[in-house]
Chain A
Amino acid sequence: AQTVTQSQPEMSVQEAETVTLSCTYDTSESDYYLFWYKQPPSRQMILVIRQEAYKQQNATENRFSVNFQKAAKSFSLKISDSQLGDAAMYFCAYGGATNKLIFGTGTLLAVQP
């Protein structure tokens, strides 16, 4: 069975600085997707970025980018130029052949002004 591990329950970053959130996963599948979702205090689950496993190029969405290391089964999220609005819970998720998403336990990010 697939698993997703987020080893950082909480992180903190200064405004305008860069922070990296870690995620590792375990799978025997060769074709899958990886996602980062953001959950602010409103509880809305917002898609931040996604990565297809077959693509070697790391995904980027404005200030958000990933470091996808397929062999190491690592999928970290880098947030550049952190803003106060980035403060939220961040979930890493795996999507494979079953269409079911496997979520990590989340990392709570605080942004200090």
Chain B
Amino acid sequence: DAGVIQSPRHEVTEMGQEVTLRCKPISGHNSLFWYRQTMMRGLELLIYFNNNVPIDDSGMPEDRFSAKMPNASFSTLKIQPSEPRDSAVYFCASQSMIAGFKTQYFGPGTRLLVL
């Protein structure tokens, strides 16, 4: 199993630019989570999906952030326009909904730097 795949691994962009982060969950997992990690705020859950449907987006900081999951094997997190305070490590995690296997597995993360 390849695990959760995220791309790009590193992204450097200028303020005002659009940023798109991508995630491929583990095959067979039907829940997907987007997190953001910063020194100041630690790990924050931004949004999560069950069976491709957004369930809780209360952690999305503002309208500049949007997330989609068009199918079971792909999700995107978009920031438009980006700001320096968006600089962080963004993680995607996936989880099986099968009872007894509710464990989140994380991707390697995307390090985003907004100049």
- Measured CB to CB, the residues of A under 8 A from B are 33, 35, 37, 42-47, 50, 52, 91, 95, 98-101, 103, 105-106
Closest Cβ of chain B to A74, distance in Å, is 21
Does the CB pair A99–B43 fall under 8 Å? no
Report the separation of the CA atoms of residues A95 and B42 in the bound assembly, to the nearest whole angstrom.
Answer: 17
Closest to B37 in A: A43
Does the CB pair B100–A35 fall under 8 Å? no
Does the CB pair B43–A103 fall under 8 Å? yes
What would 19 more interface pairs be, CB under 8 Å, given A44-B106, A98-B56? A33-B102, A33-B103, A37-B106, A43-B109, A43-B111, A44-B108, A44-B109, A46-B106, A47-B103, A47-B104, A47-B105, A50-B103, A95-B102, A95-B103, A99-B50, A99-B97, A100-B48, A103-B43, A106-B42
| Dominant SS among interface residues on chain B | strand
Closest Cβ of chain A to B98, distance in Å, is 12
Q: Mark B41-52, 1 if CB is under 8 A from A, else 0.
A: 011010010100
Does the CB pair B103–A103 fall under 8 Å? no
Q: What are 6 pairs between A and B in contact, CB < 8 Å?
A: A45-B93, A47-B104, A95-B104, A99-B97, A100-B45, A106-B42
